């Protein structure tokens, strides 16, 4: 497992359009955080990024879980505070010899990519979608202009999700709940971002930080360092 690469997937929870906006805000926050540390960020899909940098997965693995926000959306006419959530999965890059994917277990779908990339992206079916039949896992990639490259990236994402699935199955079968801390339990509410009180609280270590606007801009080194210190 390459601990210098982390794949982050952001998924909007209940809350409608505001939850989608929050998922995008989180993706931008981690992108900016990576930039501050000098890490490289690639967008693999609409809400999926790959971060490359020294010990990226080691430092980001504890960010996995459900992130809750309390704020007044820009679309709110009456000034009411809304609560929305988004879930983050943090996955490593898993080599082929650690997670085997049989050719007969996957279904391929190729389609024309949209968004950035120029005319070639839209005219050629370079985007890739994979469905893993035994698990039902579906991944897609349109980040590259070449179909072969997108196939390789998508296979890597599939191996990472299969790794996560195996990890969660092992943890759910264990009675020691300490293993759950920060390790990718998608359903676990790990952190609340309270805009009216200008505060971020991590519920696993019962610690809060202020200057929320700076944190949203990616200045979250104190949080990631605290997680690495307190969960060991």
Alpha-carbon distances, residue 215 vs 13, 30, 73, 101 (angstroms) = 21, 10, 18, 39
User: Computed from CA positions of residues 205, 210, 213, 214, in that sequence, does the dihedral angle turn out positive or negative?
Assistant: negative
Distance CA 132, CA 166 (A): 14
Q: What is the chain's Cα-based Rg?
A: 18
pLDDT at 220: 95
- Percent of the chain whose pLDDT exceeds 90: 50
Considering only CA atoms, which of 160, 102, 162, 155 is closest in space to residue 135?
162
Angle at 165 between CA 149 and CA 216, to 5 degrees: 75
Written as six digits, the tokens of 173 are 């079968």
Query: Residues 97-136: pLDDT tens digits?
Result: 888 889 999 999 888 776 544 444 455 678 899 999 999 9
Q: b/e string for 33-53 if b means 16 or more Cβ within 10 A?
A: bbeebebebeebbebbbbbeb
Element (H, E) at 21: helix 16-36
pLDDT at 218: 97
Query: Residues 49-86: pLDDT tens digits?
Result: 999 999 999 999 999 999 999 998 877 777 888 889 99
**Between 30 and 121, residue with greater pLDDT:** 30
pLDDT at 232: 55
Written as six digits, the tokens of 132 are 């893993």
pLDDT at 51: 96
Alpha-carbon distances, residue 155 vs 61, 94, 133, 141 (angstroms) = 21, 10, 14, 9
Residue 183 has pLDDT above 70, yes or no: no
Mean pLDDT, rounded, for 40-56:
92
pTM: 0.78
Written as six digits, the tokens of 193 are 């971002």
The domains located in the chain, with CATH, are 2-93+178-230 (3.30.70.1660), 103-172 (3.30.160.20)
């Amino acid at each position: 497992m390459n601990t210098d690469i982390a794949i982050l997937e952001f998924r909007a929870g209940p809350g409608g359009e505001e939850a989608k906006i929050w998922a995008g805000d989180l993706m931008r926050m981690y992108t900016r955080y990576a930039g501050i540390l000098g890490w490289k960020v690639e967008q693999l899909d609409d809400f999926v990024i790959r971060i490359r940098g020294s010990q990226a997965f080691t430092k980001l693995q504890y960010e996995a879980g459900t992130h809750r926000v309390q704020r007044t959306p820009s679309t709110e006419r009456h000034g009411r505070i809304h609560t929305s959530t988004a879930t983050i999965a943090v996955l490593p890059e898993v080599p082929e010899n650690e997670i085997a994917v049989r050719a007969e277990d996957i279904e391929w779908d190729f389609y024309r990519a949209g968004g950035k990339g120029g005319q070639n992206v839209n005219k050629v079916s370079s985007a890739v979608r994979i469905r893993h039949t035994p698990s039902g896992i579906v991944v897609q990639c349109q980040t590259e202009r070449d179909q072969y490259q997108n196939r390789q990236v998508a296979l890597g994402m599939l191996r990472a999700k299969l790794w996560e699935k195996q990890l969660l199955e092992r943890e759910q079968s264990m009675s020691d709940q300490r293993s759950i801390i920060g390790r990718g339990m998608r359903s676990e509410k790990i952190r609340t971002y309270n805009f009216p009180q200008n505060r971020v609280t991590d519920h696993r270590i019962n610690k809060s930080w202020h200057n929320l606007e700076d944190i949203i801009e990616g200045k979250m080194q104190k949080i990631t360092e605290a997680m690495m210190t307190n969960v060991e």
